[in-house]
Amino acid sequence: MDGGMKYASEATPDKADKADKADDYKAMHRKAMERHTEALDADRENRLHAADDLAFIVGEQWPEAVKSARELEGRPVITINRLPQFLRQVTGDIRRTNPALSIIAGDSEASEDTAEIYDGLVRQIQYSCDAPSIYELSAEQAAACGMGWFRVLTEYEGDETFDQVVTLKSIINPFAVHCDPQSKDPTRRDAKYMFVVEQMTPEAFKVAYPDASTTEFPQDDVSATLVHWYTSETIGVAEYWYKEPVRRTIARIDDGSIVEVPKGTKPGGMVDGMVALYVREVDTHRVMSCKLSGFEVLEEPTEWPGRDIPIIAVMGEEIQVGERTVRSSVIRYAKDPQRLYNYARSQQAEVVSLQPKVPFIGTTEQFAGLESQWALANTTSKPYLPYNPDPDAPGPPQRSMPPVSSSGLANEIAMAADDMQATTGIYDAALGQRSNEKSGIAIERRQMESDISTSIYVDNLSKAIGQAGRIMVDLIPVIYDAQRMIRITGKDEAEKNVEVNGMQMQEGFATPVNDLTLGRYDVRVKTGPSYTTARSAAADAMIAFVQAVPQAAAMAGDLIAKTQDWPGADELAERLKKMLPPGMADEGEPTPEMMQQQQMAQQQQQVEQQRQREFQQMELQIAQADLQEKSAKAKKAEADAEKAYFDAQKARFEASAAMREEQLSSGAATAAMRDGIADGVQQIINPFQRG
């Protein structure tokens, strides 16, 4: 009976591991659901206002109950949507500001040349995915409803390669992202977790996750959140990003670099043949992600190669009220003036529409038998209307006084329009409309006031772009870590291919070339016109300058031609440059003849340097040979001296032995023994006396 039974200690490792993993996934899913509920509850009020903001932007501006009642009565329900113009003004300012990334060297191991490659690669990444459109969409969302999002991700460069690239992507639905409510940074870079939720149809969900459950529901307290995950038409699937705490041990070794070392390493210990000078433990984290539904983990967690969660926020204006964060959009407080504007215009339209419908007043005798014709008097254009004379009411029926448009309605409409400008901080001058400002300075100042009032949106977008740059720079050494050719884009938008992570022989040693894995690089965000816009402005300014100073045309003709956009401008600039007097051309841009001469001079210099190195090496070898010869002669002389000394000692010993034998043979044994001992002692101490 015991043959088919397995005790706990005999359970197979695979089954035990699977059971442990299943328990870990359940615990992780439970924690994820708690975090999602926490994020949803903390931001619920802001999201309700954001949804209402978007509804206003698209023209849904009447309360449903009021709209239904007026439509039932046949009264006008007019919506004159003035809010999008304020939104377009903010997004237009953002496009004009044009925040751009710049990469610089951040430590001693980083080089300016590699920083230029980083800068060009980041620019190429943005160009290849149309990053300006991604940035503008997220900024427009922030201006419209107070929040926008985009992301950084990696993907394979093509279907036939294992090389990966970094890219950016929009998050179209701003309500899809749920973030750690404890994060306060405008980009949410300090968030410990985030969710990106996608709604799928049940059919698509079954195709994507055939082994996942779509019918079972948890029975614990988390089940209250399922309304956000399951409906009759959709199933929510979330990317769950979280930071997992990690403790690392780092050391500064004797070459000055900082490396990660095994736990337990002590100062003075050896690390790969180097001495650990300082050692400390660091509490850090790693970024993990997985996919889950409202019931289970769908894809196991994987580690992200960067240090930050690659979901970036572009927020609107945020005010901290105690522990509560209140977030607003450009048009948040312009909605009430917009409602008043719509109501006043509807009332005015109603008054105007009633003026041709003023009823006729007369006696019943005047309308007797003619009721059908008089009933159409306000809806048709009849050439005449007959009536019955009534002696008691001389004359025909008369219209009553028509309703007169109220001046109060006109004032209300004007005040509502002014209130929309006051609440957004964007006035007529900024919108391109005529106002009471007369001078150019006054108009410019009013436009500046509008720019200042909405500058928070430009600032927050700049911060978000900076965070995107930091994530890209963080990923580049990991994703672009092998020797490969990459395309980079210069500041002048010119593209070129560059080999990275290569090696070359220099003086007999292999040295790295364009190694993207060495050094640390920092990110800066610059605002200003794009290169194309700046080039066009420079062209206009140069032409105006030449018109003011005509003699400058002969000296600056090549520069003026270079700024033009028409075909052949660069060729003309080169021709004009060759016509400049000697010494006037930019030395930083040598002609082909000068480049050839420089190349020949460099080659000659390299030959001379090689000859000098060979001569120095030959002299060193001769000096070493002379030194070795002198050393050998000195050693030989020392050996000869030692040999002569030992030969002399040998002769003395032999003479002394002969004398002792002669003394013994003569019977003087005692005296001979005494003399022999004294002689031996003297021989022992003689060498020390000489030393």
Q: How confident is the model over 239-257, as pLDDT tens digits?
A: 999 999 999 998 888 877 7
Query: What is the model's pLDDT at position 217?
Result: 45
Q: How confident is the model over 299-349, as pLDDT tens digits?
A: 999 999 999 999 999 999 999 998 899 999 999 999 999 999 999 999 888
Tokens representing 66 are: 């009021």
Q: How confident is the model at residue 671 (pLDDT cuts 50, 70, 90)?
A: low
> What number of CA atoms fall less than 13 Å from residue 691's CA on the CB side?
5
CA distance 203 to 235: 10
Percent of the chain with pLDDT over 70: 80
- For residue 432, is it left (φ>0), alpha (ψ between -120 and 50) or beta? left
- DSSP one-letter code for 58: T
Over residues 423-438, mean pLDDT? 64
Q: How confident is the model over 146-178, as pLDDT tens digits?
A: 999 999 999 998 888 888 999 999 999 999 999
Query: What is the model's pLDDT at position 338?
Result: 93
Over residues 29-47, mean pLDDT? 94
Q: Which residue has the higher pLDDT, 485 or 546?
A: 485
Cross-strand pairs, 274: 271
In single-letter form, the type of residue at position 11 comes to: A
The closest of 292, 294, 291, 290 to 215, measured between CA atoms, is 294
Q: How confident is the model at residue 660 (pLDDT cuts 50, 70, 90)?
A: low
Q: CA–CA distance from 311 to each of 150, 195, 199, 365, 412 (Å)? A: 6, 9, 18, 81, 45
In single-letter form, the type of residue at position 199 comes to: Q
Q: How confident is the model at residue 183 (pLDDT cuts 50, 70, 90)?
A: very high
Cβ-contact 145, 53 below 8 angstroms: yes
Q: How confident is the model at residue 3 (pLDDT cuts 50, 70, 90)?
A: very low
Q: How confident is the model over 503-516, as pLDDT tens digits?
A: 877 776 777 888 89
Over residues 218-235, mean pLDDT? 65
CA distance 217 to 222: 10
Query: What is the model's pLDDT at position 31?
Result: 95
Angle (CA) 245 249 250, round 5°: 120
In single-letter form, the type of residue at position 391 comes to: P
Q: Which residue has the higher pLDDT, 78 or 539?
A: 78
For the purposes of burial, counting CB atoms within 10 Å of the CB of 293, is it exposed (0-12), middle (13-18) or buried (19 or more)? buried
Burial 35-61 (b: 16+ CB within 10 A, else e): bbbebeebbeebbebbebbbebbeeeb
Over residues 383-412, mean pLDDT? 80
Residue 374 above 90 pLDDT? no
Distinct helix (H) and strand (E) counts, the chain: 19, 20
The closest of 58, 96, 31, 107 to 473, measured between CA atoms, is 107
Cα dihedral: 281, 287, 290, 294 (round 10): 90
Q: How confident is the model at residue 15 (pLDDT cuts 50, 70, 90)?
A: low
Local structure of 74: helix, strand or coil? coil
Q: How confident is the model over 46-58, as pLDDT tens digits?
A: 999 999 999 999 9
Q: Which residue has the higher pLDDT, 389 or 378?
A: 389
CA distance 228 to 39: 13
Q: Which backbone phi and psi does 510 adopt, to 5 degrees?
A: -85, 120
C-alpha 102 chain-centroid distance: 12
Average pLDDT, the chain: 80
Residues found in the chain: 691
